[in-house]
Amino acid sequence: MDSQIPLSIPEIAGNEWHYVKECLDSGWISSVGAYVERFERSVAQITKRKYAVATVNGTAALHTSLIVAGVKPGEEVLTTSLTFIAPANAIRYCGAFPIFVDCTSTAQMDFELLRTFLREHCQRTPDGVTNRDTKRRIAAILPVNVVGAVGDIQVAESLAHEFELPLIVDATESLGSTHAGRPASSYGRMAALSFNGNKILSTGGGGMIVTDDAHLAERAKHLTTQAKDDAFEYIHHQIGYNYRLPNVLAAIGCAQLEKLEEYVLKKKKIALLYREALSDLRGVEMLSEEPKTESNCWLNVLRLKDPIESLSRPWMVELHRQKIESRPFWQPMHLSPAHRNSSYFGQAPSQAQMLYESCLCLPSSVGLTRMDQDRVIRAILVLHQDTLESRRRTV
Ligand SMILES: *Cc1c(COP(=O)(O)O)cnc(C)c1O
């Protein structure tokens, strides 16, 4: 019997046991301990940032980043429609409203649309930039590095500069990626990372805010640790959050981080093999790479095109039957019932919806063996051949 091939699972192959044992032996397993600081320092170093603040998960990192960037209830944040729901939810946690901008054909936030929106649908007001339609203040720009790639983030940077808006990058999927020679998470006033189980590195659950701004880092640390103002007494001047990362998870993070380079290389090898095996098939392509980006190849995405673009669901069902996990892209946020009252900016039907309907994410774990990857590729080649043959018969 063939075994299950998962989409993206953690790889535990380094000093995890060793560091966790140290934690357990010392009793420092919880919210205080040396590993949290060490993990923060190492992440700051790897992302070429001055500061890093650990959080309990990536969603908390996003929420905190938005608060310290000054996002207030009733304001608006520009983000992408094709994303995992976390950044959209984080915007709502602030009482703010997302504006979902459509994506490019490579699944990244469309910064040309962002430019059009800011230039043609907003106006300068004494307190910043206001959406002409809703009269709400625009408070931040929040792009997402989808599946490890990075769009033309320098365009977003220059727009953020032009309109004096904070740029917060959801870099949760792009740890280890670079753009124009710089780490993906070195862009933006702040960037959020995640160490959830499906990411390139995992602490079971965890997140991080990285920034070069000492004041923002300090505010983030304060807010994520219940905003306690006195070292001894329990005095608080504002509502904080318990968003701390436990020391025992930071210990796992330190071990994982030592493996980042090796894991990125493995992921790149996996991506290359998929590309070589599947890119030349008629009606099929691997989602293309972004110029200027060296992706960590976190997740490989197969796109079905004319004449078979509508078959991604039946293909997933068949792969599932063969114990190969594949998943669609996220439902675009502007179509999500959870965010039905939000605005959308782009064409209809959106690029996001077309990708949602035509793409399959393929098994991409660091530990994916050559044999298992060959099984995935063979299954797709057979599906492809059967599909085209049955098409020919019906024509
Ligand atoms: C994983 C992920 C997050 C954050 O996830 P957590 O599970 O909260 O760590 C945020 N945005 C995107 C795009 C993600 O893929």
pLDDT at residue 32 tops 80: no
**Which residue of 9, 55, 59, 108 sits with most ligand 1 atoms within 8 Å of its CB, as the best mutation to test the pocket?**
59
Q: What is the mean pLDDT of residues 152-174?
A: 98
Residue 395 has pLDDT above 80, yes or no: no
Residue 22 pLDDT more than 80? yes
CB of residue 207 inside a 6 A radius of ligand 1: yes
Nearest residue CA, atom 12 of ligand 1?
Answer: 84
344, pLDDT greater than 90: yes
How many CB atoms sit inside 10 A of residue 142's CB?
29
Half-sphere exposure of residue 370: CA atoms within 13 angstroms, side-chain side: 1
DSSP, res 173: T
Q: Which residues pair with 51 in a beta bridge?
A: 211
The model's pLDDT over 54-65, given as tens digits with 9 standing for 90+, comes to 999 999 999 999
User: Could you tell me if 140 and 77 are in contact, meaning their C-beta atoms sit under 8 angstroms apart?
Assistant: yes
d(CA 2, CA 370): 14
Closest CA to 359 of 296, 303, 277, 278: 303
CA nearest to 188, candidates 206, 216, 210, 221: 210
Tell me the backbone φ, ψ of residue 383, rounded to 5 degrees: -55, -45
Joined tokens for residue 130: 């206001």
pLDDT at 30: 77
Question: pLDDT band for position 3 (50/70/90)?
Answer: very high
Question: Which of 21-30, 40-49, 132-141, 304-313 shows the lowest per-residue confidence on average (mean pLDDT)?
Answer: 21-30
Length of the chain: 395
Does the C-beta of 196 come closer than 6 Å to ligand 1? yes
Quick check: CB of 166 below 6 Å from ligand 1? no
Cα(129) to ligand 1 centroid in Å equals 28
**DSSP for 185-213, written as a single string:** GGSSSEEEEE--TTSSS-SSS-EEEEES-
pLDDT, one tens digit per residue, over 319-337 is: 999 999 999 999 999 999 9
- Minimum mean pLDDT range among 235-239, 316-320, 375-379: 235-239
Is the CB of residue 294 below 6 angstroms from any atom belonging to ligand 1? no
- Does the Cβ of 343 fall within 6 Å of ligand 1? no
* All residues at 6 or more sequence positions from 249 whose CB lies less than 8 Å from its CB, including other chains: 195, 203, 204, 205, 206
Specify the DSSP class assigned to residue 231.
S
Report CA(58)–ligand 1 centroid distance (Å): 5
Over residues 99-134, the pLDDT tens digits come to: 999 999 999 999 999 999 999 999 999 989 999 999
Ligand 1 center from residue 130 Cα (angstroms)? 29
Amino acid symbol at 188: G
Phi and psi, residue 47, nearest 5° = -90, 5
Pocket test for ligand 1, best of 65, 147, 172, 249 (most atoms within 8 A of CB): 172
Q: Cα separation of 92 and 96, whole Å?
A: 5
User: Does residue 57 have its Cβ closer than 6 Å to ligand 1?
Assistant: yes
Question: How does pLDDT run across 143-162, given as a tens digit for each residue?
Answer: 999 999 999 999 999 999 99
Choice from 91, 170, 249 to test ligand 1 binding pocket (greatest atom count within 8 A of CB): 170
- For residue 299, the CA-to-ligand 1 centroid distance in Å is 13
In the reported structure, the alpha carbon of residue 378 is separated from the centroid of ligand 1 by a whole-number distance in angstroms of 31
Percentage of the chain beyond pLDDT 90 is: 91
Report whether residue 148 contacts ligand 1, using a CB cutoff of 6 Å: no
Q: Are strands 97-101 and 359-362 parallel, antiparallel or unpaired?
A: unpaired
Select from 103, 168, 196 the residue to mutate for testing ligand 1; criterion: most ligand atoms less than 8 Å from CB: 196
Q: Encoding tokens for residue 6?
A: 């998962």
**Which residue, among 317, 301, 278, 303, has the nearest Cα to 354 in the 3D structure?**
303
Average pLDDT over residues 176-190: 98
Summarize the confidence of residues 47-74 as an average pLDDT: 98
Counting from 1 in the atom list of ligand 1, the atom nearest the Cα of 57 is 9
Q: Which residues contact 210 (CB under 8 A, 6 or more apart)?
A: 43, 44, 47, 49, 51, 52, 53, 171, 185, 186, 190, 191, 193
What pLDDT shows up at residue 197?
94
Structural contact between residues 385 and 282, judged by C-beta atoms closer than 8 angstroms:
no
Mean pLDDT of 88-105: 98
Backbone angles phi, psi at 210, to 5 degrees: -120, 145
Paired tokens of 74: 């009733």
Of 70, 77, 130, give the one whose Cα is nearest residue 101: 77
pLDDT-derived band at 341 (thresholds 50, 70, 90) equals: confident
Dihedral angle computed from the Cα positions of residues 221, 222, 223 and 225, in that order, rounded to the nearest 10 degrees: 80
Query: Smallest Cα–Cα separation from 363: which of 285, 275, 301, 307?
Result: 301
170 pocket-lining for ligand 1 (C-beta < 6 Å): yes
- Helix 214-224 crosses helix 58-68 at what angle (to 10 degrees)? 120
Atom of ligand 1 nearest to the CA of 173: 15
Our answer on whether the CB atom of 86 is closer than 6 Å to any ligand 1 atom is yes
In the predicted structure, residue 257 carries a pLDDT above the cut 80 = yes
Average pLDDT, the chain: 96
Confidence (pLDDT) at 35: 95
- Average pLDDT for residues 170-179, to the nearest whole number? 98
DSSP states along 291-332: TTEE----SEEEEE-TTSGGGHHHHHHHHHHTTB--BPPPPP
Crossing angle (nearest 10°) for helices 247-257 and 16-26: 160
pLDDT in tens, 272-282: 999 999 988 99
Helices 58-68 and 86-93 cross at an angle (nearest 10°) of 40
C-alpha distances in Å from residue 20, one per residue of 33, 37, 48, 247, 270: 12, 15, 26, 9, 30
How far is ligand 1, taken at its centre, from the CA of residue 2, in Å? 31
Tokens at residue 37, please?
A: 């600081």
Per-residue pLDDT at 299 exceeds 70? yes
